[in-house]
Amino acid sequence: MIDFRLEEEHEALRKTVQEFAREEVAPVIGDYYERGEFPYDIVAKMGQMGLFGLPFPESVGGMGGDYFTLCLALEELARVDSSVAITLEAGVSLGAMPIYRFGSQEQKEQWLPKLVAGEALGAFGLTEPGGGSDAGATRTTARRDGDSWVINGTKAFITNSGTDITRLVTVTAVTGERDGRKQISAIIVPSGTQGFAVSKKYSKVGWSASDTRELSFADCAVPVSNLLGQEGRGYAQFLSTLDEGRVAISALSVGLAQGCVDECVRYAGEREAFGHKIGEYQAIQFKIADMEARTHVARLAYYDAAARMLRNQPFKRQAAIAKLISSEAAMDNARDATQIFGGYGFMNEFPVGRFYRDAKILEIGEGTSEVQRMLIARELGLTRPWQ
């Protein structure tokens, strides 16, 4: 029997985060967004609730949940605001999870307690100014010099990398070459390390209350023991990290899409035109019905990908499908919601204005829609003619 109902603990968690998002985030996040200010107090509350520790075992200070609980939390947060949701997603999936998955016992003991408690944030330095989707074109290098790795290069668009509570960035760098191919490794660089510079915040179209920066490394030396996992396995580690992250971004996208539905249903029941509530007009009803249908399908897609991941089954194709479908649903719903709100939808004081600005990056970050289609095709056995 197929049953899509949430288990009791999952439903309890979802309701708790939903209440937090509505009562603690929604009333204040608009001001943070307009100021382009990082919401430290909200992040601290999320840490106290245990949200940063959701998918980690109690042995490392986590809540003993699973990755699906994180996805449910992200959906409910993004239903209200995506800046807060992406801060949690990146803090867990890109900051703490690589250390939990691939770190040594010493690295776990050093970094995980504060990361899973939300008292500190970690970031993942992959993208570079000249290479986003083509991660294999990494130019940042790390060479051995005695007991140190000496890192040189630049990273771009790195989330959570420059806050007051950021404690580390895990950086991918070329550490050698084998059979004519670059060997890419992942190395932990603590914040404040000499030679590691964090730029000022980007001026972004959306996610204005999240932290995103460019990073530069100039003869930045860290101990050899800061290597994360095996030397030369950084690329494979990052692919694994992104597969999981795409499920999380899908959940976040579903949250934004659902938030658009919520706002439009409310507005359609209040706004009058030509003597009637606009929700009485079939043109509006059909548009909102399409929005709800997109959201429902996208949610099922990420539920399926998450279920396969938790069963330790292959889920790369399902993660790519979920990320593709949900990010496009978020973008379509944000556009339709803005249309339904009319002039008010173009005002930042209304949530749909933020939703519209936040939605586009979901089709780009953690693998563009084009990359997702490429992955799906490849999983189906379709290859490029030069392969």
Rounded to the nearest angstrom, the gap between the alpha carbon of residue 263 and the centroid of all alpha carbons in its chain is 23
CA distance linking residue 175 with residue 141, whole number of Å? 6
CA distance linking residue 85 with residue 108, whole number of Å? 24
Residue in 293, 287, 279, 355 with CA at minimum distance from that of residue 325: 293
Cβ-contact 158, 215 below 8 angstroms: yes
Cα-based distances in Å from 243 to 91, 315, 324, 348: 16, 8, 13, 33
CA distance linking residue 66 with residue 361, whole number of Å? 26
Concerning whether 89 is annotated as a catalytic residue, the answer is no
Rounded to the nearest angstrom, the gap between the alpha carbon of residue 330 and the centroid of all alpha carbons in its chain is 14
Residue in 126, 99, 139, 124 with CA at minimum distance from that of residue 228: 99
**Catalytic site residue from 19, 23, 366, 379:** 366
Cβ-contact 168, 189 below 8 angstroms: yes
Q: Which residues are marked as active site? A: 366
